[in-house]
């Protein structure tokens, strides 16, 4: 504001007449004229779109456009006729006036209260203190006197006011003044606040009743656009409409639901000028879809589809160009007048033409109401308080400027001493003004009228009731019944699934591949004793793979929360409907997938081939899948974040695997843990499948199940089952070589086949229903939406930052006394002569992108230049290709074909172009765990030349913090910043590199008028100091546009309309347009006018000739070409010196140092991520150890030692699941930084790995300690030294998991795809490592995979170390009894057998009932399995080599795979 010209001309060219305060809120004649204008505009625009569509050749046409041509759209006729028809049909209207008295909002946290970031150290300590905290909380709950008073701070101080039906109220204030809080309070959205006090009434109905019965009638449109990216615009609106279509009583007679939805949808799309996007994906940062401005309009259309009558818009013109923003507000004005809506809006950078459309304006300052009254009198009121009259500035900017201590100016002869300046003084001045008195009087009258005349209230209640579909409860806030909501949600989920082809194809492919792997591993099992245990294995592997595949449901549940929150606040559906719809919509997809999966496994592995057997098996496996899906979804719904859900899930998963009855039969489980088996759904599914299989088959006893038998080369014993031999299979009957499957499972596992349907199936079905119920109850009554209000979170200060912050605050205090102009000049003095700007020219730039069915041109023959010391604005309508043009010029495009000549300093662009130029992108992507100062320093350290000292770089960052007014947030974490502060940080990070050319993409988008003005003024300072700046800009005020030297104006199709000077008061620009028949009126913002003139918004273009043709024929075009030639000739030569070009500003080791430093900080400040990992390692190890506590020397304990070791194979699975999303999020930041050549992909990949190492080491040690000692390892020959060898193996396997997770992250395009690889990799690694299928039984064609699997090395090294030299003593029930032939002792008969196969006889000299123990020493167990103790060091280094290979593969993948298409 300091630079605002102080002359007396107003933007409208004359003084504003103050209307009579008693007059009606809007002049009827004005409204008529406005209607006619908008009607004409919409009709012509629509016809123009039609003719465009007909005359354009299809190849160049808008490929995203709707298919059908549109009828001319007459808004006035449409709204008027529908209103008349509704009245004739007797459909009640909804007129809801809003009153609020003493509205106050408090949040947790006292004055000056700061939230500090939690670190890993604090979380680890907190875990141990948790039991004490729990006791403390229980004590506080029991004794209310002990409960602490939570400190509250008020963010919205008591305010009052009213807005009647048919009125629009504009809410103004600087960022942080409470505008969003006010809107949320009015919209009854209270869950983010500790307390909302005061009385808000809607047509006389209080807030509590409104929230309970009429929730969807008061809606809030948030600033961020949250949508399902893979739905089209039409589908998004159809969904909202399908849930809000009125019942038969609320529609016109004879109009069906379908016709109603179609009409309303088309009206909304046409009104917001986005009909052409109907069949385009909405998109987001990752999914290509509509443009940012169009996405904002989709949000508006979705909100309007709810047909609510109290509308609160939070900065809903963000991302729209001036022309479109004005059209939107005009349309809102028309709808508000005709439909009697009540509209509240906060708008940043509201131009005069927008401001004048409102009936009331509220100005807030630090949560205090400093003005409420007619917009036309607001300026005069603030001038009367003693503020300087600044008629050139738009009123909205002037009003917010008066509340900004840095920007406000006082009238001549006035100062802070006699003008109210603090929020309290301004509030007091307002309370004593006639406007406050008038407001109080109006409020009292209106409330009294509402008490006496309840017509509006009764009509409103009647209208809401008639909107409901038949059968919906009168008390329900929903228009549609529960089944209708579920139906609509099922359709939406179906559309999402079908349109997300990649996910569909990937999940089906992976499922089939997994089935093929399992089927091939257990191929064609025979009904012999060898096939008995392996049948249990294949059933367990098939079931577990399928059940744990549903683990991916947890993050999916969390990703959809923001959309769930928005749509339930619109009262579209009950949250519970989502839980049921998710299950129902998933069944068709998963049923086919699991059916194919089961067919492959069942028939490849030769399980009992009968129809009954297969379908029973399929039913149990699919029920287990649905049950576990419900189980994981329950956690996804219940937990606040993924890490806490991960901890909880891991608490259950090991128990589900261990206590399924396969690893430990139920009768052998520890008595104090066996109850887990009975509450484990996986156990019932596995038991059901086992009983189903074994009740149908019998086995032939052969091979290794016969004792004694012939060793190789000896033929002493009977080859089958002879009279003095015994079958060791469970359930074998002496003398019979056929073993019944029923007996086998009964004796071996304690299973009774008659339990199949009466127990197992019923319990499994019960679990399925239970988890559906838990989802419904949790999501309905304990919703976890996450997010909430953005409160800055700070990193603790150290000595250096404390000193620097104190200095910043001193300078800030010193600035307050001076004018903003002086203070700015102080900072800019430091910048003098620092910028080495270079001229940049572009000629004949064209850009083509591939689209389905051909190629599409987005830019056409664009010419222009930027000189040092100048600022060039790049403007055009939404979708004209501004960002595309900037991306092309900044060399950020990596798809499509760019042609044309781009020269920096007259020379072709070189290797160092990207790092010498800075590009502040529209999407503010930063490392969220860094502070503002750290983010800027990181940029300065790596992008400024190494010859500049670190101290100098640090000081430069401090200057930037001051210039960007981020002093109070210097130590705030980036993730916790608001939109506006993050935007300033984006610019700061780029400026920290001291670029020779600065590109900015919509730097003022999302800022209020004052911040935008400050920012552009700051850019102007940079330009004056030699910086060359090119900047796209939306909605510039007339003052803002004059700060620029040149303008490049584009129209749709990337055609140039104008490139040249703007001139003081835009006279050069206005003259150019006037020459071609477009005369800019004196009271109109030239920036808005020129967009209207070229037909950018809804207004038809002026003149019958295309503006691009005017440009090509103009002398200005010729002078641009001449100027470009001149720049090329005048540029400096190289003086023959060959400079060494480098892609990066700093050497590799410097890059690695700062990348590692930042990564370490990130992990230290991410306790959920790191501590979850530690917790999971500790818990799994501890729980497995508890099941196998202090193992002895029996054969069963030997088997359990192997199982205990086998659990180490789960470590990579844990690490990968957590690490992949983290890697992919880090890669997003790297992609943005890599495009500016901040650091190399090698530094990124190695930095990520080094950061993980300390925590991986800690996790490995914790796992090892809790595994080795409780289980009683180290009793073999290797002893204690062997247990330390086990530690080395665990560390290496942890390293392998980390590197494999990072490699999968590096080759995956998104967070949804990465986890899909995990089950396949883990299954292959664990199936072929020689434990579930031993080496001797593995088919020959899989031996290569056995050798290739890293887990083979892990198991070999650990098992051989643990079992080598371990003496084995059978328990009495483990001896195998047999009788020798008459006249022989046990040893005489079995000597050759024992010498060949090992083991020992307990009674060698007995002549009957010989007791044979299978093993005498541990080596006899592992030697037949192709494991050698002497190979253990070889094996452990091979495992390490796999980790090293992963590291190199990750580095290569980081270099070549970015998945960033732009």
429-443, 778-792, 876-890 — which one is most confidently predicted on average?
A: 429-443
Q: Give the pLDDT confidence score for residue 1097 in this predicted structure.
A: 65
Q: Give the pLDDT confidence score for residue 835 in this predicted structure.
A: 64
Secondary structure (3-state) at 506: helix
CA distance 373 to 527: 89
Secondary structure (3-state) at 239: helix
Looking up tokens 């003022």 gives 1004
Q: Give the pLDDT confidence score for residue 1326 in this predicted structure.
A: 87
Q: What is the DSSP letter of 387?
A: B
Q: Give the pLDDT confidence score for residue 364 in this predicted structure.
A: 94
Task: Please list, in sequence order, all residues whose beta carbon lies within 8 angstroms of the beta carbon of residue 384, skipping any fewer than 6 positions away.
Answer: none
Across 57-71, 212-226, 597-611, least confident range: 57-71
Q: Give the pLDDT confidence score for residue 22 in this predicted structure.
A: 37
Q: Give the pLDDT confidence score for residue 236 in this predicted structure.
A: 92
Q: What is the DSSP letter of 307?
A: T
Q: Give the pLDDT confidence score for residue 4 in this predicted structure.
A: 38
CA distance 716 to 739: 25
Looking up tokens 């009121």 gives 381
If we measure between CA atoms, which residue out of 801, 1052, 803 comes closest to residue 932? 801
Q: Which residues in 1037-1055 are b (16+ Cβ under 10 Å) and which e? A: bbbbbbbbbbbbbbbbbbb
CA 291 to chain centre: 19
Region 982-996: what's the mean pLDDT? 85
pLDDT reading at 105 higher than 70: yes
Portion of the chain with pLDDT greater than 90, in percent: 29
CA distance 328 to 314: 14
Q: Give the pLDDT confidence score for residue 623 in this predicted structure.
A: 96
Instruction: Tell me whether the omega of the peptide bond preceding residue 221 falls within 30 degrees of 0, making it cis.
Output: no
Region 200-214: what's the mean pLDDT? 89
Q: Give the pLDDT confidence score for residue 148 in this predicted structure.
A: 75
CB 636 within 8 A of CB 554: yes
Confidence of residue 687 (pLDDT cuts 50, 70, 90): very high
CA distance 179 to 364: 7
pLDDT reading at 1455 higher than 90: no
Q: Give the pLDDT confidence score for residue 133 in this predicted structure.
A: 82
CA distance 678 to 681: 8
Confidence of residue 365 (pLDDT cuts 50, 70, 90): very high
Q: What is the pLDDT of residues 408-458, one digit of tens each?
A: 888 888 888 889 989 999 999 999 999 999 999 999 999 888 888 787 888
Q: Give the pLDDT confidence score for residue 61 in this predicted structure.
A: 34
Q: Give the pLDDT confidence score for residue 336 in this predicted structure.
A: 86
pLDDT reading at 714 higher than 90: no
CA distance 65 to 276: 4
CB 426 within 8 A of CB 370: yes
Q: Identify which has the larger pLDDT, 1201 or 350.
A: 1201
Q: Give the pLDDT confidence score for residue 6 in this predicted structure.
A: 37
Q: Give the pLDDT confidence score for residue 696 in this predicted structure.
A: 92
CA distance 1036 to 875: 10
Burial class (CB within 10 angstroms; exposed 0-12, middle 13-18, buried 19+) of 143: exposed
Region 648-663: what's the mean pLDDT? 85
pLDDT reading at 619 higher than 90: yes
Q: Give the pLDDT confidence score for residue 84 in this predicted structure.
A: 67
Confidence of residue 528 (pLDDT cuts 50, 70, 90): confident
Q: Which residues in 1002-1036 are b (16+ Cβ under 10 Å) and which e? A: bbbbbbbbbbbbbbbbbbbebbebbbbbbbbbbbb
If we measure between CA atoms, which residue out of 501, 498, 493, 513 comes closest to residue 596? 513
Q: Give the pLDDT confidence score for residue 680 in this predicted structure.
A: 93
Q: Identify which has the larger pLDDT, 1288 or 799.
A: 1288
Half-sphere exposure of 1357 (CA within 13 A, CB side): 26
Looking up tokens 């109109």 gives 1084
Q: Give the pLDDT confidence score for residue 162 in this predicted structure.
A: 93
Tokens of 1218: 């957590």
Burial class (CB within 10 angstroms; exposed 0-12, middle 13-18, buried 19+) of 25: middle
Q: Give the pLDDT confidence score for residue 254 in this predicted structure.
A: 77
Q: Give the pLDDT confidence score for residue 818 in this predicted structure.
A: 58
pLDDT reading at 769 higher than 70: yes
Helices 1211-1234 and 1167-1187, packing angle to 10 deg: 170
Confidence of residue 1183 (pLDDT cuts 50, 70, 90): confident
CB 1111 within 8 A of CB 1094: no
Task: Please list, in sequence order, all residues whose beta carbon lies within 8 angstroms of the beta carbon of residue 1452, skipping any fewer than 6 positions away.
Answer: none
Q: Give the pLDDT confidence score for residue 693 in this predicted structure.
A: 94
Q: Give the pLDDT confidence score for residue 85 in this predicted structure.
A: 67
CA distance 666 to 650: 22
Region 579-608: what's the mean pLDDT? 94
CA distance 383 to 387: 5
Q: What is the pLDDT of residues 369-397, one digit of tens each?
A: 999 999 999 999 999 999 988 776 788 88
CA distance 715 to 708: 12
Query: Phi and psi of 1240, rounded to 5°?
Result: -85, 160
Across 821-825, 1172-1176, 1186-1190, 1322-1326, least confident range: 821-825
Three-state SS for 77-130 is HHHHHHHHHHHHCCCCCCCCCEEEEEEEEEEECCCCCCEECCCHHHHHHHHHHH
Q: Give the pLDDT confidence score for residue 704 in this predicted structure.
A: 79
Q: What is the pLDDT of residues 1361-1401, one digit of tens each?
A: 999 999 999 988 889 888 888 888 899 888 989 988 889 99
Question: Distances from the Cα of 544 to the Cαs of 503, 928, 982, 1128, 1172, in angstroms?
Answer: 22, 37, 45, 69, 23
Q: Give the pLDDT confidence score for residue 600 in this predicted structure.
A: 96
Region 1315-1334: what's the mean pLDDT? 84
Portion of the chain with pLDDT greater than 70, in percent: 90
Region 751-771: what's the mean pLDDT? 93
Q: Which residues pair with 860 in a beta bridge?
A: 1055
Region 466-478: what's the mean pLDDT? 81
Looking up tokens 């040690």 gives 1261
Q: Give the pLDDT confidence score for residue 1255 in this predicted structure.
A: 93
CA distance 785 to 1053: 41
Confidence of residue 261 (pLDDT cuts 50, 70, 90): confident
CA distance 753 to 697: 12
CB 794 within 8 A of CB 973: yes
Q: Which residues pair with 931 in a beta bridge?
A: 973
Q: Give the pLDDT confidence score for residue 534 in this predicted structure.
A: 87
Region 593-621: what's the mean pLDDT? 95
Region 692-712: what's the mean pLDDT? 88
Confidence of residue 9 (pLDDT cuts 50, 70, 90): very low
Q: What is the pLDDT of residues 955-972, one digit of tens each?
A: 989 888 887 878 888 899
Q: Give the chain's radius of gyration (CA, Å).
A: 37
Q: Give the pLDDT confidence score for residue 78 in this predicted structure.
A: 60
Q: What is the pLDDT of the chain when averaged over all its residues?
A: 83
CB 273 within 8 A of CB 327: yes
Q: Give the pLDDT confidence score for residue 110 in this predicted structure.
A: 60
Q: Give the pLDDT confidence score for residue 48 in this predicted structure.
A: 41
Q: Give the pLDDT confidence score for residue 91 in this predicted structure.
A: 66
Q: Give the pLDDT confidence score for residue 1446 in this predicted structure.
A: 95
């Amino acid at each position: 504001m300091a630079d605002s010209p102080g002359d007396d001309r107003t933007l409208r060219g004359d003084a504003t007449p103050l209307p009579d305060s008693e007059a009606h809120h809007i002049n009827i004649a004005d409204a008529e004229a406005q209607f006619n204008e908008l009607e004409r505009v919409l009709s012509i625009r629509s016809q123009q779109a039609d003719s465009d569509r007909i005359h354009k050749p299809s190849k160049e046409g808008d490929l995203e456009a709707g298919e059908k041509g549109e009828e001319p759209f007459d808004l006035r006729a449409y709204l008027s006729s529908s209103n008349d028809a509704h009245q004739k049909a007797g459909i009640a209207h909804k007129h809801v006036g809003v009153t609020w008295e003493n509205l106050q909002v408090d949040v947790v946290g006292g004055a000056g209260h700061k939230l500090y970031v939690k670190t890993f150290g604090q979380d680890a300590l907190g875990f141990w203190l948790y039991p004490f905290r729990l006791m403390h909380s229980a004590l506080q709950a029991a004794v209310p006197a002990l409960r602490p008073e939570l400190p509250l701070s008020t963010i919205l101080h008591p305010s009052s006011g009213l807005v009647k039906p048919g009125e629009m109220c504009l809410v103004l204030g600087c960022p942080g003044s409470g505008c969003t809080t006010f809107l949320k309070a009015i919209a009854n959205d209270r869950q983010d606040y500790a307390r909302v006090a005061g009385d808000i009434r809607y047509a006389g109905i209080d807030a509590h009743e409104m929230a309970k019965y009429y929730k969807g009638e008061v809606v809030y449109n948030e600033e961020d656009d949250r949508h399902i990216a893979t739905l089209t615009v039409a589908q998004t609106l159809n969904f909202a409409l399908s849930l809000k279509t009125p019942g038969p009583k609320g529609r016109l007679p004879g109009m069906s639901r379908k016709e109603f939805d179609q009409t309303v949808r088309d009206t909304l799309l046409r009104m917001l000028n986005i009909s052409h996007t109907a069949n385009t994906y909405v998109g987001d940062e990752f999914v290509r879809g509509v443009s940012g401005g169009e996405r904002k309009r989709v949000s508006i259309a979705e909100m309007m589809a709810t047909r609510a009558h109290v509308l609160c818009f939070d900065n809903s013109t963000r991302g729209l160009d001036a022309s479109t923003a004005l059209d939107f507000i005009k349309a809102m004005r028309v709808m508000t007048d005709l439909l009697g809506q009540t509209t509240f809006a906060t708008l940043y950078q509201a131009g005069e033409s927008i401001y004048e459309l409102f009936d009331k304006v509220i100005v807030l300052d630090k949560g205090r109401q400093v003005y409420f009254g007619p917009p036309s009198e607001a300026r005069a009121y603030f001038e009367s308080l003693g503020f300087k009259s600044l008629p050139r500035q738009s009123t909205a900017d002037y009003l917010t400027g008066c509340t900004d201590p840095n920007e406000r100016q006082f009238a001549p002869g006035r100062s802070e001493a006699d003008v109210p300046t603090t929020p309290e003084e301004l509030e007091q001045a307002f309370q004593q003004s006639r406007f406050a008195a008038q407001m109080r009087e109006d409020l009292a009258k209106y409330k009294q009228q509402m008490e006496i005349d309840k017509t509006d209230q009764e009509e409103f209640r009647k209208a809401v009731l008639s909107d409901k579909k038949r059968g919906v409860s009168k008390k329900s806030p929903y228009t549609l019944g529960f089944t209708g909501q579920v139906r609509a949600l099922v359709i939406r989920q179906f559309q999402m699934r079908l349109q997300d082809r990649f996910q569909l194809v990937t999940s089906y492919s992976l499922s089939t591949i997994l089935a093929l792997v399992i089927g091939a591993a257990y191929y064609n099992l025979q009904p012999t004793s060898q096939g008995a245990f392996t049948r249990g294995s294949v059933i367990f592997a098939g079931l577990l793979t399928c059940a744990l595949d549903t683990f991916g449901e947890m993050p999916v549940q969390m990703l959809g929360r923001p959309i769930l929150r928005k749509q339930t606040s619109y009262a579209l559906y009950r949250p519970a409907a989502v839980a049921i719809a998710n299950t129902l919509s998933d069944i068709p997809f998963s049923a086919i997938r699991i059916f194919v999966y089961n067919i492959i496994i069942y028939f490849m592995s030769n399980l009992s081939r009968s129809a009954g057997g297969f379908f029973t098996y399929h039913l149990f496996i699919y029920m287990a899948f649905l049950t576990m899906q419900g189980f994981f979804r329950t956690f996804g719904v219940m937990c606040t974040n993924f890490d806490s859900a991960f901890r909880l899930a891991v608490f259950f998963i090991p128990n589900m695997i261990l206590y399924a009855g396969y690893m430990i039969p139920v009768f052998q489980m520890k008595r104090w843990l066996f109850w887990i088996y009975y509450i484990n759904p996986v156990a019932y599914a596995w038991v059901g499948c086992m009983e189903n299989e074994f009740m149908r088959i019998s086995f032939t006893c052969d091979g290794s199940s016969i004792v004694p038998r012939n060793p190789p080369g000896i033929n002493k014993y009977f080859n089958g089952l002879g009279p003095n031999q015994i079958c060791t299979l469970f359930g074998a009957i002496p003398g019979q070589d056929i073993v019944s499957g029923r007996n086998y499972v009964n004796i071996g596992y304690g299973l009774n086949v008659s339990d199949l349907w009466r127990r197992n199936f019923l319990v499994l079905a019960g679990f399925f229903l239970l988890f559906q119920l838990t989802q419904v109850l949790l999501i309905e009554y304990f919703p976890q939406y996450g997010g909430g209000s953005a409160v800055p979170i700070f990193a603790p200060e150290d000595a250096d930052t404390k000193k620097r912050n104190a200095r910043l605050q001193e300078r800030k205090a010193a600035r307050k006394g001076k004018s903003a102009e002086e203070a700015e000049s102080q900072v800019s003095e430091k910048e003098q002569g620092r910028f080495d700007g270079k001229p940049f020219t572009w000629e004949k730039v064209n850009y083509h992108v591939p689209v389905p069915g051909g190629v599409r041109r987005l830019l056409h023959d664009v010419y222009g230049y930027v000189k040092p010391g100048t600022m060039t604005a790049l403007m055009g309508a939404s979708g004209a290709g501004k960002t595309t043009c900037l991306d092309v010029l900044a060399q950020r495009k990596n798809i499509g074909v760019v042609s044309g000549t781009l020269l920096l300093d007259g020379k072709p662009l070189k290797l160092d172009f990207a790092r010498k130029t800075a590009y502040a992108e529209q999407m503010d992507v930063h490392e969220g765990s860094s502070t503002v100062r750290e983010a800027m320093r990181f940029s300065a350290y790596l992008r400024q030349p190494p010859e500049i000292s670190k101290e100098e770089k640090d000081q430069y960052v401090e200057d930037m913090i001051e210039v960007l007014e981020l002093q109070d947030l210097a130590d705030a974490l980036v993730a916790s910043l608001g939109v506006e502060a993050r935007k300033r940080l984006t610019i700061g990070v780029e400026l920290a590199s001291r670029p020779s050319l600065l590109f900015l993409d919509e730097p003022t988008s999302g800022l209020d008028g004052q911040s935008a003005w400050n920012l552009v003024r700051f850019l102007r300072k940079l330009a004056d100091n030699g910086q060359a700046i090119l900047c796209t800009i939306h909605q510039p005020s007339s003052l803002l546009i004059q700060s620029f030297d040149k303008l490049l104006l584009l129209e749709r199709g990337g055609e140039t309309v104008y490139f040249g000077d703007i001139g003081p008061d835009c006279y050069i620009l206005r003259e150019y347009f006037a020459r071609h028949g477009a005369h800019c009126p004196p009271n109109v913002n030239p920036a808005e006018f020129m967009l209207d003139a070229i037909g950018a918004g809804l207004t038809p273009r002026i003149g019958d000739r295309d503006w691009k043709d005017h440009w090509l024929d103009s002398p200005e075009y010729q002078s641009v070409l001449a100027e470009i030639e001149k720049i090329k000739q005048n540029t400096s030569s190289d003086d023959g010196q060959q400079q060494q070009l480098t892609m990066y500003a700093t050497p590799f080791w410097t890059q690695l140092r700062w990348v590692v430093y930042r990564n370490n900080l990130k992990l230290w400040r991410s306790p959920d991520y790191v501590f979850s990992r530690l917790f999971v390692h500790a818990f799994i190890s501890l729980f497995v150890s508890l099941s196998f506590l202090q193992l002895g020397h029996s054969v069963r304990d030997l088997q359990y030692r192997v199982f205990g070791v086998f659990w180490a194979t789960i470590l990579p699975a844990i690490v990968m699941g957590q690490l992949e999303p983290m890697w992919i999020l880090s890669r997003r930041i790297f992609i943005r930084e890599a495009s500016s050549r901040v650091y190399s992909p090698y530094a990124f990949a190695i930095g990520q790995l080094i950061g993980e190492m300390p925590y991986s080491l800690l996790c490995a040690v914790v796992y090892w300690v809790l595994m080795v000692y409780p289980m009683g390892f180290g009793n073999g020959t290797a002893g204690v030294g062997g247990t330390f060898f086990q530690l080395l193996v665990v560390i290496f396997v942890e390293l392998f998991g980390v590197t494999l997770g990072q490699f999968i992250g590096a080759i995956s395009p998104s967070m949804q795809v990465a986890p899909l690889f995990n089950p396949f990799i883990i299954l292959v690694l664990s199936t072929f490592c020689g434990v579930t299928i031993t080496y001797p039984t593995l088919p020959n064609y899989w031996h290569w995979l056995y050798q290739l699997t890293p887990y083979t090395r892990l198991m070999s090294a650990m098992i051989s170390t643990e079992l080598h030299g371990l003496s084995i003593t059978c328990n009495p029930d483990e001896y195998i009894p047999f009788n020798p032939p008459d006249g022989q002792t046990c040893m005489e008969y079995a000597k050759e057998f024992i010498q060949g196969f090992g083991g020992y006889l307990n009674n060698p000299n007995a002549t009957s009932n010989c007791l044979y123990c299978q093993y005498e020493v541990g080596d006899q167990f592992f030697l037949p399995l192709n494991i050698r103790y002497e190979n253990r060091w070889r094996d452990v280094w091979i495992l390490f080599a796999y980790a090293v290979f992963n590291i190199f593969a990750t580095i290569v993948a980081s270099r070549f795979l970015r998945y960033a298409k732009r």
